[in-house]
Structure 1
Amino acid sequence: MPNRLAQATSPYLLQHADNPVDWWPWEAEAFEEARRRDVPVFLSVGYSACHWCHVMAHESFEDEATAAYLNEHFVSVKVDREERPDVDAVYMEAVQAATGHGGWPMSVFLTPEAEPFYFGTYFPPEPRHGSPSFRQILQGVHQAWTERREEVADVAGKITRDLAGRELAHGGAQVPGEQEMAQALLGLTREYDARRGGFGGAPKFPPSMVLEFLLRHHARTGSEGALQMAADTCERMARGGLYDQLGGGFARYSVDRDWVVPHFEKMLYDNALLCRVYAHLWRATGSDLARRVALETAEFMVRELGTAEGGFASALDADSDDGTGRHVEGAYYVWTPEQLAEVLGEDAGLAARYFGVTEEGTFEHGQSVLQLPQTDGVFDAERVASVRERLLGARSARPAPGRDDKVVAAWNGLAIAALAETGAYFDRPDLVDAAVRAADLLVRLHLDEHGRLTRTSKDGRAGAHAGVLEDYADVAEGFLALAQVTGEGVWLEFAGLLLGHVRTRFTGEEGTLFDTASDAEKLIRRPQDPTDNATPSGWTAAAGALLSYAAHTGSEAHRTAAEQALGVVRTLGPRAPRFVGWGLAVAEALLDGPREVAVVGPSLDDPDTSALHRTALLGTAPGAVVAAGAEGSEEFPLLADRPLRRGAPAAYVCRNFVCEAPTSDAEELRAALGG
């Protein structure tokens, strides 16, 4: 018999719908049931592409005896962290404070008032390495609840008070200046891995937001060191096992420092952010590698993450069937020399050398993750293309990893921005069309008549949970990019609608931002975090969108809101630049103006107008905004009072209330939009 999760829109919750555990979704009724029965709540938080979440589910939640004990002594609540990032953030803060680390699955025991009192992550089914089993944990918690209730209440109350009383992050009137940006760059230089690219040790994550900052800093200041760090990191990642050398797209992270062995799950947000990074790297350098990776990553998103409704699915699992019925991490992606020979015959040796496949293997059991060593020009391009095509065909016959079909508003916003820009840069209208389809879905399904966002949908059905700050900010970012590429001002209007909610429902005093709206469900603490994680923080993403919207419209209120939000970057940037990369990138745009570009012509289909428009989009000035349309168009405020120049299309470039003379020459425009 399916449990209560059978009606969920979250694929992660649906994976647990047939568990013998009597799961509840996160809802008031679950806590009312705990009060009625006088039992604690067991809160389990994870996501569909989480390897250890699947392991714990198989070992414990599918076990009849463990489930029976849970059902008798607890009310069990299952949460998809991607659907409820607010719930995840609040209790992860408690887990990290109590244990010094966090992760998923997250396992927390709560009072019926949702106050946490015992924490952990993955618990094994049997005692291991000095750690108790999950059953022992359950028995210990039950005993404490029944025999030492007063002690439990004291612990829960203290933890809740500590969380609620934690100092809030604040915005401020002082924005980052040259000194803070220089200190941030110095901090990154100290942590940079000059031999391997990237920052820090293993595991090594793609530093997408930091790379955007480095590219913008180079564009504005000419810093060759910043560009070198960005370019070298991008090349190392693209040549390593982190990147799918056959199908395109990036895995979540590398388990080693050399980018060889990935954690094989593929997330929409990583690929959206990295697609944009590589497109911007090509824009800055003309790198053929950057161009190829940007396009392949865009094509991967459309091909493998695109949904029937026009949006983009959240993730592909790390695990898949290895052909023997076992669910194994990386099975879809790894190769042995014997498997190469089976598919390629006499070309197997070439493929092994080209992709770094060895008898010893670079992964487990003599298997290798495909890489791309420094071999450009050494191998015949046509043979390599044939090898890649045949391997990809053979791989497609393997059992595919599972897909989380949940459409998350924020991550789709990131994908819209990446696909719109990549399509425009490389004359790929199909990619721009994919961005438009996703934007249409968000408007049609995720946006209500008041401009409020729903966080997720699945199979054309909107979820029940309200959007959080990153949803409003990243979708606005996507709409702004789409407006610039398509010349359709309606996307600017939608962005303004969303940013109105950011200013009224997510903003406190002096620019302080919260991850949840003022009228959202009240948790034990109203979450807020100005630092980046796998994606830009909602706080700094909002600052970026507010700044761009202000440049488009001349709104002082939006610019002031952006500047107040950036106050936190002035504090954090010099101290922790790796964790506020997007904020630093936005600060670069602020320091550069940002520049405002208006392109007018007979129509955007006119070749000369189109050439100026594309040149404007390819400008490297940090955060420059572009409005393009016909003379007299009312699509964008920047086009007002912008006539043609002697009857020819013209581009106007302004910065800090000063405008240069209009030009009809693409080379002059390109020079005006350098950093």
Structure 2
Amino acid sequence: MANRLASATSPYLLQHAGNPVHWQEWGEEAFAEARRRDVPVLLSVGYAACHWCHVMAHESFEDDRVAEVMNTGFVPVKVDREERPDVDAIYMNATTALTGQGGWPMTCFLTPDGDPFFCGTYYPRPQFLQLLTAVGEAWTERREEVLRSGSQITDVISRASASTPVNALDDAALTDAVTTLRSQFDAVNGGFGTAPKFPPNMVLEFLLRHHARTRGADKPDADKPDDALAMAQQTCEAMARGGMYDQLAGGFARYSVDAEWVVPHFEKMLYDNAQLLRVYLHLHRATGSALAERVARETADFLLADMRTPEGGFASALDADADGVEGLTYAWTPGQLTEVLGEDDGARAAEVLSVTDSGTFERGTSTLQLRSDPDPQWWTEARQRLLSARAERPQPARDDKVVTAWNGLTIGALAEAGALLEEPRYLEAARACADFLLATHLVEGCLRRTSRNAAVGTAAGVAADYGNLAEGLLTLHQATAEPRWLEAAGGLLEVALDRFTDGSGGFFDVADDQVSAGQLITRPKDPSDNVEPSGQSALAEALLTYAALTGSTRHREAAERAVAAAGAIARQAPRFAGWTLAVAEAVAAGPLQVAVVGDDGGELIRTVRRSDSPGLVSVAGEPDADGVPLLGDRPLVDGGPAAYVCRGFVCDRPVTTRQELERALTAGGPR
């Protein structure tokens, strides 16, 4: 046998193609070999930007002695968790059930039928060798015990995917969620909990939507809307001014290792930056914050400059390491600043950017923070000089596979940024990405999960791929009034409704044929929102938006059922149901539909786009445009532009001025 990863499309798998380990990709061939040789499968799951994955690879998988033990006693299988989130979800559930925690690299030992009987994460070389010996002995000497344990673990994780009772999220539940979040809020540093601290992307969107929906409400808890906005504002400012945000090139790292947002884990993930672009865009819309606008623009520019692939898609991640050293590209000493900027400007930059002699990171280096706004003219020049100097350093590797779900998030973020900031570059990038995904990732009517260098992978799309791409296309439709995006989104949602529903209102993570076709021991379903929307909440948002744009009660009812199916977790742990709660806010606030006709880039369109109602959808174009339901039967008024504000396709009389439109959007409109 030999290593079989050379033909993989995943950059993570290709990183291991030269290992002496006889790695195989996930699939029936690997399990058939395990049955033939009567040995366990050793499953190793990670991703290209994972620091500890690299460490374990260097320590163990590149070591001939370790490889010999692995090859002799096991069938080694390597999985990219971003390419196969279904496999990752199943065995991460097993890992957390057995150990109480999870992480990557994930190391699982499976029977030839796929049942996990021992799981863990990173192991240093000596412990890993001991573990390989112990597991091999258990398989040989205590086979029945191992098989029984694996079967029991599979049964436990299968029951966890069973249907859950529905629990609708009413106004009281949404208000209670804000109260719970306040109790977990870090009032000193922003964010939730302690270190390590992840950007709460979807929770921030929920808080902004809750503020928008309840602003000015006449109720005893009238302070709650301001409370929601205050938490969002403080967290966004703290993240943007700390070391987790790239003060030179824009874009956010994956998380902060400390509670103060000073030192990041340096990898940059596409899904984080797409979501945070939208959060800062919405914060700017709600408050007029110049900081939020700057961060939104810089993050969008980072996506276009550093993450875009030649085909028009967006790469998955930038690595945490460069030349094997974490943060090497990004950290600075005062002397390095002086070397680039000169003595006076170097000292000024060190003070502005919190770069100290002792360092805030490792080896006497500091991450760059921008705790206050410097003189803009000086900072623009200094920033560019530092960025040019940084470009000469070793650069992090890029995982350039294109993930459908994350590109869907990016399409939506860039389309909305292009519309709100009136920046055509962002809108054109969203269009190009959507064209590429529909041409490459949509195969015989169904989505594939990934592609690389325009070659589509074999892994089937999961629920999040359908939901996030559909929502991105619907946002692009609203920004452009082009019917093709609405039509394509509708087709994706039909597949999801047909092949992913669980019978109780929720959605499985994989389609109905994937347990057998994908060599899966169970059909995973996780309604929680962690670093990205769950498949269920992503589909709920897309279904709700599609319903508002088309008037489809079937899609709205499906969206409401999906929200209710995650109601229990949203009530118990709102930090892990941020997108479900955000969708619930849109359910409560809408549908609010606005059609603008005959106003090519004018005042009426800008007024609508400044509205932050969570239930609002809008399209601007010519009257009765083919394939655009919202523009049907919407004539000009006296030959001029007009806006139609509708609730459930029941419309107020058209308005023709900004003042009338603002009143119609906020007060129910003139009759």
- TM superposition score category, shorter chain reference: over 0.9
Secondary structure of the residue aligned to 2:591 is coil
Which amino acid is the alignment partner of residue 181 of structure 1?
A: L
Distance in 2 of aligned mates of 1:674 and 1:195: 34
Shift of 1:623: 3.3
Aligned ranges 1:306-455 → 2 under 5 Å: 306-321=308-323, 327-346=324-343, 347-374=345-372, 376=373, 379-450=374-445, 452-455=446-449
Quick one: which of 537, 543, 546 aligns to 2:543?
546
Shift of 1:169: 4.2
Quick one: which of 484, 492, 515 aligns to 1:490?
484
Distance in 1 of aligned mates of 2:399 and 2:357: 34
Aligned ranges 1:552-567 → 2 under 5 Å: 552-567=549-564
Which amino acid is the alignment partner of residue 304 of structure 2?
A: V
2:247 corresponds to 1:245: yes
Which amino acid is the alignment partner of residue 356 of structure 2?
A: T
User: 1:485, 1:617 within 8 Å by CA — same for their partners in 2?
Assistant: no
1:170 is matched with: 164
Distance in 1 of aligned mates of 2:161 and 2:12: 33
Please list the CA deviations of residues 426-467 of structure 1 after superposition, one character each: whole Å capped at 9, or x if unmatched: 1110110000110001011001232x1010000010001000
Secondary structure of the residue aligned to 1:421 is helix
1:474 is matched with: 468
Secondary structure of the residue aligned to 1:419 is helix
Quick one: which of 466, 475, 500 aligns to 2:494?
500
Q: State percent identity of aligned pairs.
A: 58
2:630 is matched with: 638
Shift of 1:573: 2.2
Distance in 2 of aligned mates of 1:607 and 1:160: 57
Moved more, 186-195 or 562-571: 562-571
User: 1:532, 1:581 within 8 Å by CA — same for their partners in 2?
Assistant: yes
2:220 is matched with: none
Distance in 1 of aligned mates of 2:163 and 2:351: 52
Shift of 1:616: 1.8
User: 2:515, 2:523 within 8 Å by CA — same for their partners in 1?
Assistant: no
Distance in 1 of aligned mates of 2:185 and 2:577: 16
2:605 is matched with: 613
2:222 is matched with: none
2:596 corresponds to 1:599: yes
Moved more, 42-51 or 520-529: 520-529
User: 1:6, 1:17 within 8 Å by CA — same for their partners in 2?
Assistant: yes
Please list the CA deviations of residues 390-448 of structure 1 after superposition, one character each: whole Å capped at 9, or x if unmatched: 10000011111000000000000000011111111111101100001100010110012
User: 1:46, 1:53 within 8 Å by CA — same for their partners in 2?
Assistant: yes
> Normalising by the residue count of structure 2, what TM-score does the alignment of the two structures yield?
0.96
Aligned ranges 1:18-57 → 2 under 5 Å: 18-57=18-57
User: 2:45, 2:104 within 8 Å by CA — same for their partners in 1?
Assistant: yes
Aligned ranges 1:190-229 → 2 under 5 Å: 190-222=183-215, 223-229=225-231
1:130 is matched with: none
Please list the CA deviations of residues 31-50 of structure 1 after superposition, one character each: whole Å capped at 9, or x if unmatched: 00011111110000000000
Distance in 1 of aligned mates of 2:621 and 2:62: 59
Shift of 1:650: 1.0
1:572 is matched with: 569
Gaps of 5+ in 2: 216-224
Measured on the aligned residues, the alpha-carbon RMSD in Å equals 1.4
User: 2:161, 2:524 within 8 Å by CA — same for their partners in 1?
Assistant: no
Shift of 1:664: 1.4
2:179 corresponds to 1:182: no
Quick one: which of 137, 147, 160 aligns to 2:141?
147
Secondary structure of the residue aligned to 1:7 is coil
Secondary structure of the residue aligned to 1:625 is strand
Shift of 1:521: 3.5
1:129 is matched with: none
> Normalising by the residue count of structure 1, what TM-score does the alignment of the two structures yield?
0.95
Distance in 1 of aligned mates of 2:58 and 2:662: 58
1:80 is matched with: 80
Shift of 1:662: 1.0
1:265 is matched with: 267
Shift of 1:666: 2.3
Shift of 1:380: 3.1
Gaps of 5+ in 1: 127-132, 322-326
Distance in 2 of aligned mates of 1:58 and 1:431: 40
Distance in 1 of aligned mates of 2:487 and 2:606: 22
Which amino acid is the alignment partner of residue 59 of structure 1?
A: E
Secondary structure of the residue aligned to 1:673 is helix
Secondary structure of the residue aligned to 2:30 is helix
Please list the CA deviations of residues 275-317 of structure 1 after superposition, one character each: whole Å capped at 9, or x if unmatched: 0000011111110000000000000011000000000000000
User: 2:505, 2:558 within 8 Å by CA — same for their partners in 1?
Assistant: yes
